[in-house]
Amino acid sequence: LLSEAVLLLGASGDVNGFLADGFFGTGAEVCSFAAEGLPVSFMLLVDVSESELSTRMAAREGAAWDMFTESERCASDEVLLRRSAQVRQQTGSLVRAVHGRVCCASLERYDEVAAQLSLLGTSGFVGPAAVRPPVVLVHGGPGSGKVALCSRLASELGCVYLRAETVAEEAA
């Protein structure tokens, strides 16, 4: 689904890049995507401490909270911490697959993240794309702030924020 979306939306020439959230769980998946002629240019690693995650969960709102079923919400702190630990375990193979091109990201560090993306220069995000708009892998656990960060980046940098669950719902 991601390949189709990137090829379809990128063909218009109006897109400066793609923020791909939730499509890649392993380095092998990143390599497979690259084998289709769509390499991942960069990785945004969005992470928060367990204490910050607990604070966010206490608010019981936002995209991370919405993804839980009613039964999961009863044990949400434990479930969320377990899911975040699983995401952290995936990080190493993803970093290797993007050859270390990683920016540790958070909404609090927005200006720094936007500057890092602008360094992609003629590859997209700033000015016309040389060949094809870049694809940036977004990786982070539930409640880390991916949606807030990427929504703002997409709006301000002229890129498309693609969330796996949204693309899958639209395709169905």
Tens of pLDDT, residues 86-111: 888 888 899 899 888 888 888 888 88
Tell me which of 10-19, 53-62, 69-78, 117-126 is least confident: 117-126
Tokens of 110: 């927005």
Contact between 133 and 15 under an 8 Å Cβ cutoff? The reply is yes
DSSP state of 121: G
Tens of pLDDT, residues 115-159: 888 776 544 444 444 456 788 999 988 778 888 899 999 998 888
Q: What confidence score (pLDDT) does residue 144 get?
A: 83
Return mean pLDDT, the chain: 79
Residue 77 pLDDT exceeds 80: no
Q: DSSP readout, 123-169?
A: GTTSSS-SSS--EEEEE--TTSSHHHHHHHHHHHHT-EEEEHHHHHH
Residue 40: phi, psi to the nearest 5?
-80, 125
Reduced to 3 states, what is the DSSP secondary structure of residue 69?
coil
Average pLDDT of the residues in 2-8: 86
Number of C-beta neighbours around residue 76 at 10 A: 18
pLDDT band at 47 (very low <50, low <70, confident <90, very high): confident
Tokens of 144: 């880390």
If we measure between CA atoms, which residue out of 2, 22, 28, 24 comes closest to residue 142?
22
How many Cα atoms are found within 13 Å in the side-chain-facing hemisphere of 4?
6
Residue 165 pLDDT exceeds 60: yes
pLDDT band at 20 (very low <50, low <70, confident <90, very high): very high
Residue 46: phi, psi to the nearest 5?
-105, 115
| pTM exceeding 0.85 | no
Q: How far apart are CA 102 and CA 99, in angstroms?
A: 8
Residue 161 pLDDT exceeds 90: yes
> Of 86 and 67, which is predicted with more confidence?
86
Name residue 137's beta-bridge partners: 20, 43
Contact between 84 and 45 under an 8 Å Cβ cutoff? The reply is no
